[in-house]
Amino acid sequence: MDYSIQKFLWTLLGLFIVLNWGFLMGSTMRRIGARLAGRVGVPIYQPWIDMIKMISLRTYLSHGVLYYIGPVFRLVGGIGMFLFMPVLVGSEIWSNYSFSGDLILLLYFQSFGMLGMALGASESGSPNATIGISRGLAQFAAVEVPMTLAVIAIAIQHHTFSFSEILDAQQGGFMNWTLFTNPLASIAGMLAMLGAMSHSPFNLVKAPNEIPIGPPTEYHSSFLSVLRTNSAIIHVVEAALFMNLFFGGADTWFMYIIKTFFVYFISVFIGMVFPRFKIEDSVRWFLKWPTVIGIIAVLVAAYWK
Amino acid sequence: MGKKTMIALITLALAFVIYPLYQSYNGSETLKDVGQYYIDNGVEETGAQNLVTSVVVTYRGLDTLGEVTILFLAASVISFFLSFSKNDRIKSRSIRSVTEILTTSTQVLVPMIFMFGVYIFVNGHLTPGGGFQGGAVIASGIILMFLSNPRFKLSHKVIQFVESTSGIVFVLIGAAGALMMDGDFLSNKIPGFGFGEVGSIISAGAIPVIYTFLGLKVGAELSNVLGVFVESQSEK
Amino acid sequence: MVGPIYIIAIALGLAFFLGFFGKSLKDVSAFLMLAGLAFMTFISGQWLLAFFNGSVTTQEIFTAGFRPPYSINLRMGYEEAVMTTMINVIGFLGGVYMFKRLKEVGNSAMSVFIVLIMSLNVIVMTRDLFNLFVFVEIGSIATAGMIILEKNSKSLQAGLKYLMATGVISGLLLIGIIFAYYFAGSLNIDGIITAHVGVTKAGAVAVFLIIAVLVLELKPFPANGWGLDVYQSAKPGFGAIVSAATATAGLYVLYKVLPMGGETWYPYIVLIGLITFVGSNLVGTRQKDANRLLGYSSIGQIGLVMTVIGLQPILGSKFSFIAFALLLNHYLAKAGLFWLSGIIKKEKISDWYVLRKNKALLILFVIFIFALIGFPPFPSFFGKYELIMSLVSTENIWIAVLILLGSFAEGIYMFKWLGDVLKDEDQTEESLNISWNKFIPIVIVGVSLLAAGFYSTPYVEGAHYFYFIPLGFIVFMGLIDFLPAYVKNTLSIAGMTYYSYIIYPLVEGDLMRTIFFVIFMIGGILTLIVGYNKKGKREGFYPVALMMYAGLATILTSDSMFGFFFGWELMTAGSYFLIIRGKRSKPHAYSYMLFSVAGAYLILLGFAFAYTSAGTQDLIALKDIAVYTTLAYTLLAVGFMTKTASLGLHIWLPGAHGEAESDVSPMVSAILLKAGVFGLMLLFLYMGQQTGETLLFVLGWVGAFTALVGNLAAVFQEDAKRLLAYSSIGQLGYILFAIAMMTQLGWLAGFTYVINHFLFKAILFIVVGGIVVRTGTHNLYQMGGLLKKMPFSFVAVLIGIITLAGIPPLSGFAGKWLFYNAVVLKGWYIQGVIVFFAGSIAFMYAFKLIHSIFLGQLKDNHRNIKELSPAILIPAYILIGGIIYFSAYPQNVLEPIGNMLSAYFPATVDWSGDGLATTVLSYWNGNAVLIIIVTTFILVLAYLKLITGKTTKLEQFNIAYSAERPFRPETTHVSYNMFAGLNKAIGFLIAPGITRFWKNISDMVLDLAGFIRRLYSGNGQVYAVHIIIYIVIFYFISLG
Amino acid sequence: MEYIIITIGFALTIFGLYGILSQKNMIKIIIGFSLFTTGINIVMVAIGFIRGGTAPILDEAGKEIGKYVDPLPQALVLTSIVIGLGVTALMLAYVMKLYQDKKSLNINDYKDLKW
């Protein structure tokens, strides 16, 4: 069978796994959150039901072409991130399309989906959407700083931007994880992740009670289903990204699931205990502590090199 | 420190600047070679026994031409003021009363003054004096006329005519020198004007002629200036 | 040949002769006067010609048939011939100009005028001191007379002040002369020179008095209040004579008499000249009265020439050209300006907008201004260039600096004036009535200025007639300005295409130049195409646009520093006029010009250092400059950075680009800025990594902060075009940062940004400019929802901002990728992070732009708006084609550049056949990324289509909005202060501190000027005191 | 003898200058100018002086002495006198006009042009 087709099918499979794992993880988190709040919470299979419901809706209202294209952009953004990142360490089959670009590509590809979302949502003309987007962008810009610092620190440390090499460097015992070999960078990175995941305290972007669910305000039915699909994927992928950077990646699907769950859980857990930041506060916050830590991390790394 | 004192100081500073000149001066026994040259060759070269005249009219004739021009300019510029004050000219000037003595003495003196002036510039190449001096004397006669008769008016036509003719003659004589082969502007070796015998009226080539016209011109110009002053005057 | 002596004979004869004419024959006398002046001109002219052909040698003219020192002699040499011709020509033209007025006043006025001109001739020719004195007196009396051609109390006062001043100084002159005779035994200048009277103290004082007085005749700053009053109150027609003819004579006399004192005096003349040039121009900055302003400028220019005269021993063989070029330039330009003032008849410079009623006069005015400031192709440009070169190469750097300062001060008020003329609200209906006799002379001097510039070419190393070819075309375009726009547009495009075709061989083979060639020329043509959607004549647009492109082409093709500078200034001038065409762009064009001029002077100094160390004008001289290395390179870098609008030098850009016309913005933003980049790149390549270590490091930081501040400011803009303008600042910051790294990757990134910025900024400015015109507003929050009206524009902008934000798969990402590698390899981590932060901010304003214009709520007044015209969209889409190609095959563009760069830097990136780029750190396959993303996109789109049934379109306001339907788009369109949160957090970073800084500096200058000019109390007596004080101080400096 | 002359000359020059600079009445200023120029003229004459010399007129009277002063400075003086006269006349004319204009002879009243 032709290699490229083979590759394509394997990747599709991986995508499918990730998607469902994303759904499962999401509902689990909601249950945990509910328990912490003393509620029962949704059943585990809730996301699948939602999907079916949304897709099977009859009425499809559209604000225009971009409103239609927006979710596509968004999902491509999510899938793309999945594609450009190897899933399992050292596995040729599960390396997806990471040969066409590395960490840098991934960092900038985040914006792709965001742009699409922004375009689609703001064509709807709903002020809530636009407000949400503007906040999202501001926060994203701030989060980028510690993120970049962490990435650069790692790049200095391992002298590469390529995932596979970063991962290889972390193999052989958890003491080789970046988390331990380069704790400062890891802290900066993880703090950045909180923003990237945009859970509370950094979820003013889609502040549910202030501007009903923010950017996706106007979305419903199949459009929303696409967005949900994406968020399921993106959560896993984001988690996987940090897993690969700091937690030595995963050599089996089992490790993959464990670690992503763990990483994701951190962000959610912090979200449970902290109140929500105003946008300017979160921007200030990210430009303060995480940035300082990041800078120190970079300097240290540079010094060691 | 008052303004005047400051100005005094500044003036003194300038005095200090030029003091070395004063200091360096010691009346000399001998002439500079230029001066000596004039003494030695002046008479032969120009035929005038009054060397000042020969220097004024010949050696440094260009200066003299400029001099005349300056008077001419002054007169012309001041005559702007006439056209200037066309509008605000006071027709009826309050006339001073003039005493009998002044009028009579004027009638006696003016002709003699004119005569004297003419004498001075005609003999310019022989005795002290010359065109300018003579012209000035003539102008003084004119002043007297103005004083004696406030209504007296100079005829600008006449003045203009005298002025222009004499000026042109001067220039022409100068040019005549240049037009001759190997000749120079304002040289007084011009055919028709013999050097004659030094010391007599008819001598020194073109000098007497030039001086005569200079005298007329200067006289005319000075009187012109006076006239303009008087006319554009408005006493109330 | 007619002897020079007849100048005197004719003039005086005529002057006296005019007395015969009564009031009746005024016409006859007037024509006689003109005839006389013409004949004088003829005499001196024929001598000039003879000397030019070398058919005669210097002639001594003796008077009275005796030789000097016993009699007065005149001299007619080459120099005298030139000077007298200049004087007589201006005399004749002035006579023509003042024809009517002189006739009114009468014969006496004509006589005075002709005598004045004659006296100036003699002053130039005479070799006898006392004779000099006499004719100087004639000159001043005649001047005092001419002043009151303007019959009012002011001119009377000016006349009296003038008489008092000249009276005092001529008295002192007389003392000097008589003692010179006393010591030298001769009045002949040559005799005195040979006598060396200066050896004794007293002799020195005598010489001092003579020189000091001749200096004072030139109205040196600050002892020149009387002169200024003359300029202000006299008839402008006569002001021209004073400024041009009298000054020429005076300067020549100084030049002639200076040897009497020997070498020692030259430095003092330099000092006086410099003080005059700088001081006079400085004080001029506060002046509001046109004629007095011209007075300040005249005195300044005369001071400059005086400086050059004093520099004679230093300049050596170049002296004649420099002095003559500067003198002639001043002579023509100032005469022209005074004559213009005589036509305008407006005292306040702010009333000069009436000049716009007559295009020809306007153009002449512009020519004169630019000639005075020393722009190409005017003689002063060549003169100043040579002057600075010689000064610096002879270690007289401070003189050079002061001269440039003075010129800059002159620029301050001249360009203020020009701006007022070009832009001020025209409040009057009355039209200019121009009589031929006033118009012709101005045209003559204007044309002579151009000719003089052309003929200065052979005297300057590195100058070619080649540079004048485009200028010729520009003149042609100016002449056919009456044609409709589309014709001229076609012609311009044709012209540019052809010229590009001519010069391509010059850049061929040099990849770096080729890239900029494409940007400048092809980009130029594309932006010109946009011009097709302009209706009407579009007067004056094409000449200046072409001027800018001609300058850019010259910069690109010139192999000499001179050529580069020529092109640079040409480009500056052209872009200035392009920018000032915008409705509200007067102040912005002004600050643009000031920054450009200052920058150009810095560059000039840098070149001078290079010339000093290398001894050649070839650009290669910039390679390892030996003298003042750091200083030289810093000057050059800062000079170029004024054009790239780096932080601190950027304040002109937003307004200049934002307020410009819709198709000018792309020209000045996407194309013009690259000239600065080109300069910097050249500089860095020549400078090399080692030499510029610290400088480069600093520039790196500057670049980073420029990027941050520029982008941040863009985020908070509500004005669409200013947003783009600020974004340009940011982008140029990236480029500066990238090339400052001086690594192959850094430069690759730099080039990528250069190309990308050219492509997307051109697209964005073209389209947004078009939209601004369509919607009739600059404000983003007044647009919105235009997507449905202008889909093509939307796509163009979308592509633009994706590239801008560096989002994969488009070519913007190539820059980012190279950047990351470069930064980590170079080790500029922190700067790098700042730049990346700036990058994510760029994404914000990119979104704000597209959202506010195309998305959100459509405004009621835009309901029936049309898509942009093809003239705009076609160029935009051609550029998009460029982006797509670059995105799909980055290798094809970047690999050759990389190879080119590996000549200068170690190669760090290599390309495999299938478009995979690898560095030691990282890899990226643009081609693959594009394919993957496009495929995924299609699949996902198909999936969505699959799961989505038939959609129904919603009404505009049919949205979930706090449970009610908004009814006004204004209240629902979120755009104003969009990123309030960010502003609260880090808005303080863009507090307008830098603008305030420059404001304070300009205030300081103006206050200083205001303080100094209180010297000019207006009291004639005080001016006399000034003169005495001046002499005393001069004495204590020179002899004390 | 000649020292007295030149001293007087310089003194007049300086005094005249002081008058020009200090007096407020324009007529007086003009008088200052005449003093100034006169002083200079005297200096010029003194420059041409030769001890025991007589006027440079080579008639019998002169020939007896046989020693003459320098004729050149005298010629120059003649010229400069005339020039001085021209200037003075012109100044007077100006002052006259200014007076008709503002009815004041104080130079401080004529400061319409400044800065």
Which three-class secondary structure state does DSSP give residue C310? helix
Residue D43 has pLDDT above 70, yes or no: yes
Contact with chain C for residue A60, Cβ under 8 A:
yes
pLDDT (tens digit, 9 = 90+) per residue, C205-239? Answer: 999 999 999 999 999 988 999 999 999 999 999 99
Residue B236 domain flag: no
Q: Judge whether residue C701 has pLDDT over 50.
A: yes
Q: How far apart are CA C767 and CA C533, in angstroms?
A: 12
Q: How far apart, in whole angstroms, are the C-alpha atoms of residue C851 and residue A131?
A: 12
Q: State the best of C803, C835, C909, C951 to mutate against chain A, taking most chain A CBs within 10 Å.
A: C951
To the nearest whole angstrom, how far is the Cα of C407 from the nearest Cα of chain D? 21
For C968, the 3-state DSSP assignment is coil
Calculate what percentage of chain C has a pLDDT beyond 90: 73
pLDDT of residue C952: 84
* Measured distance CA(C438)–CA(C329) in Å, rounded: 20
Which residue among D50, D76, D92 places its CB closest to the CB of B29?
D50
Q: Locate the domains of chain C by residue range.
A: 1-127, 691-979
8 A C-beta contact, residue C178 and residue C129: no
B67, B89, B121, B229: best to mutate for the D interface, most D CBs within 10 A: B67
Distance CA C364, CA D5 (A): 60
The per-residue pLDDT for C987 is 87
From chain B residues 2-21, the ones with a CB under 8 A of any chain D CB are 3-4, 7-8, 10-12, 14-15, 18
Q: Which residues of D touch C182 (CB under 8 A)?
A: 47
Give CA–CA dist D103/C1020, Å, rounded. Answer: 18
How deeply is C290 buried, as exposed, middle or buried, from its count of CB atoms within 10 A (0-12, 13-18, 19+)?
buried
**Distance of CA C808 to CAs A264, C879, C888, C914, C1001, Å?**
26, 18, 11, 18, 45
Between β-strands C916-919 and C59-62, what pairing exists: parallel, antiparallel or unpaired?
A: unpaired
Whether C636 has a pLDDT exceeding 90, the answer reads yes
Residue-wise pLDDT for C658-684, tens only, equals 999 888 999 999 999 999 999 999 999
Residues of B in contact with D82 (CB under 8 A): 67, 70-71, 132, 218
CA–CA distance, D90 with C148 (Å, rounded to integer): 12
Q: Assess contact for A282 and A177: CB atoms under 8 A.
A: no
Q: What is the interface size between B and C, counted as CB pairs within 8 Å?
A: 189
Q: How many residues does chain C have?
A: 1040
pLDDT at C624: 83
Any D CB within 8 A of C484 CB: no
- Touching check for C232 and chain D: CB below 8 Å? yes
Question: Where do we find the tokens 């004169």?
Answer: C368
Domain range summary for chain D, segments of one domain joined by +: 2-108
Any A CB within 8 A of C264 CB: no
Considering chain C, what is the average pLDDT of its residues?
92
Integer angstrom CA distances of residue C188 from B32, C69, C193, C676, D13: 13, 5, 9, 57, 25
Q: Tell me the nearest-neighbour CA distance from C228 into chain B, angstroms.
A: 21
Query: Is the peptide bond between A201 and the residue preceding it cis, with omega within 30 degrees of 0?
Result: yes
Count other C-beta atoms under 10 Å from residue C711's C-beta. 29
ipTM of this complex = 0.89
| pLDDT tens, position by position, C502-526 | 999 999 888 999 999 999 999 999 9
Residues within 8 A of D (CB atoms), C 248-307 only: 286-287
Task: List C128's β-bridge partners, or say none.
Answer: C188
CB-based contact, B196 to chain C, within 8 Å:
no
Which element (helix H / strand E) includes C918? strand C916-919
- For C95-113, give the secondary structure using H, E and C: HHHCHHHHHHHCHHHHHHH
Question: What is the per-residue pLDDT for B83?
Answer: 61
Query: Are the C-beta atoms of C137 and C34 separated by less than 8 Å?
Result: no
The answer to which of A285-294, C162-171, C531-540 has the lowest mean pLDDT is C531-540
Q: Which residues contact D48 (CB under 8 A, 6 or more apart)?
A: B35, D69, D70, D71, D72, D73, D74
pLDDT digits (tens, 9 = 90+) for C886-925: 999 999 999 999 999 998 899 888 888 788 888 988 999 9
CA gap A191, A49 in Å, rounded: 33
- Contact list in A for residue C959 (CB cut-off 8 A) is 63, 124-126, 217-218
Q: Which two tokens stand for residue B139?
A: 């102008």
Report CB contact under 8 Å: D10, B43.
no
Interface test with C, best of A105, A133, A229 (most C CBs within 10 A): A105
Q: Could you give the 3-state DSSP secondary structure of residue C719?
A: strand
d(CA C406, CA C373): 10
> In 3-state terms, what secondary structure has residue C348?
strand
DSSP one-letter string for C604-617? HHHHHHHHHHH-S-
- Write out the two tokens for C871: 């003239």
Residue A77 CA to its chain's centroid (Å): 11
Residue predicted with more confidence, B105 or C956 = B105
Answer for the pair C37, C117: CB distance below 8 angstroms, yes or no.
yes
Look at D50 and B233 and tell me if their CB atoms are within 8 Å.
Answer: no
Average pLDDT of the segment spanning A129-150 = 90
Tell me which chain A residue has its CA closest to the CA of residue C987: A280
Residue B236 has pLDDT above 50, yes or no: no
**pTM for this prediction:** 0.93
Per-residue pLDDT tens digits for C771-781: 999 999 999 99
CB contact under 8 A, C156 and D79: no
B129/B131 Cα distance (integer angstroms): 7
Reading phi first (left if > 0) and then psi (alpha if -120 to 50, else beta), residue C21 is in beta
Split at pLDDT 50, 70, 90, the class of C425 is confident
The answer for D 36-95 residues in CB contact with C (under 8 A) is: 36-37, 40, 43-44, 47, 72-73, 76, 79-80, 83, 86-87, 90-91, 94-95
Q: How far is C575 from chain B (nearest CA, A)?
A: 50
Give burial (CB, 10 Å; 0-12/13-18/19+) of B182: exposed
**Contact call for A101 and C924, based on CB within 8 A:** yes
**Which of C835, C937, C956, C962 is best to mutate for the A interface (most A CBs within 10 A)?**
C937
Alpha helices by DSSP H, listed for C534-668, are: 541-557, 561-580, 586-614, 629-644, 653-659, 664-666
What pLDDT, in 10s, does the model give residues D97-109? Answer: 888 888 889 999 9
Q: Which burial class, exposed, middle or buried, applies to B73 when counting CB atoms under 10 A from its CB (0-12, 13-18, 19+)?
A: buried
What SS3 state is found at D106? strand
Mean pLDDT of the C33-43 span: 95
CB C707 within 8 A of CB C734: yes
**Residues in chain C closer than 8 A to B184 (CB atoms):** 61-66
The partner residues of C952 in beta bridges, in order of sequence, read A61
pLDDT tens sequence across C234-247: 999 999 999 999 99
Domain range for B56: 3-231
Q: Within an 8 Å CB–CB cutoff, is residue D11 touching chain B?
A: no
In this prediction, residue C740 has a pLDDT band, given cuts at 50, 70 and 90, of: very high
Strand A60-62 versus strand C923-925 pairing type: unpaired
Phi-psi label, residue B153: left if phi above 0, alpha if psi -120 to 50, beta otherwise? beta
Burial tier of C993 (Cβ tally within 10 Å: 0-12, 13-18, 19+): exposed
Rounded to whole angstroms, how far apart are CA atoms C718 and C166?
62
CATH class given for the domain over D2-108: mainly alpha
- Asked if the C-beta of B116 comes within 8 angstroms of chain C's C-beta atoms, the answer is no
Q: Which amino acid is at C1040?
A: G
- Whether residue A129 contacts residue A217, with contact meaning beta carbons closer than 8 Å, is answered with yes
Beta-bridged to residue C166, according to DSSP, are none
Both tokens of C1023, joined, read: 């001016």
Of D18, D82, D97, the CB nearest to B8: D18
Residue C533: how many other CB atoms lie within 10 Å: 18
Q: At a CB cut-off of 8 Å and minimum separation 6, what does D109 contact?
A: D102
Shortest CA gap D61–chain C (Å) = 26
Nearest in space to D84 (alpha carbons), one of D41, D37, D14, D44: D37
Contact between C656 and C592 under an 8 Å Cβ cutoff? The reply is yes
pLDDT of residue A18: 94
Q: Which of C543, C557, C549, C547 is nearest to C525 (CA)?
A: C549
Q: Of A266, C299, D23, nearest to B4 (Cα)?
A: D23
Can you tell me the distance from the alpha carbon of C459 to that of C383, in angstroms, rounded to the nearest whole number?
Answer: 9
| Nearest-CA distance B130 → chain D (Å) | 10
Burial class (CB in 10 A: 0-12, 13-18, 19+), D9: buried
Residue C823 pLDDT exceeds 80: yes
Euclidean distance between CA atoms A203 and C751, whole angstroms: 39
DSSP β-ladder status, C951-953 and C923-925: unpaired
